[in-house]
Structure 1
């Protein structure tokens, strides 16, 4: 039942992520332009250049704030990662207990040595 719940949560997160691919890409582009504009603002010497790069940076910041659905996409990607991690964690713990022939022997040997 736990795997079914993880599957459903992962499926919902995948659909959310796929629905928000466009805003994620545009947010990445806006943040790259904002980074470039800020670097140019810091490097510029003249007042006119600082005003121009500052204006560009502020406009791009306002545009990037409008990509709120991209935050949902990032959260969905993180949830998908957590589901994947949890899914593999359950497989590894179950298979390691069953596949290790010496764990039973070691446990029984400790029980025999106690007596």
Structure 2
């Protein structure tokens, strides 16, 4: 199995969960914007620190299992894990909040 295939198996259900939670809980543009900003920050940090760790030879990837696309030194496939985290954690957080708390926060935002 390639790294991209493994990343897809992990990322696809997480992305579906995030979309379903956002749709069912009627989360708007503000939630998606916060998630997108968090994703950009986390992905940039991942590229920087993965590249540093690869540069000092802390770990290596089997080249035959990679797409060959790299951002600095970090393989593209390695970005699936932080992307999954930034989608999964807010979705789980939203699912864990009591319904009354969500309704109260909406009323406070839109009096």
- Asked if TM exceeds 0.5, the reply is no
Between structure 1 and structure 2, the one with the greater Rg is 1
More helix by share: 1
Q: TM-score, normalised by structure 1?
A: 0.30
Q: TM-score, normalised by structure 2?
A: 0.31
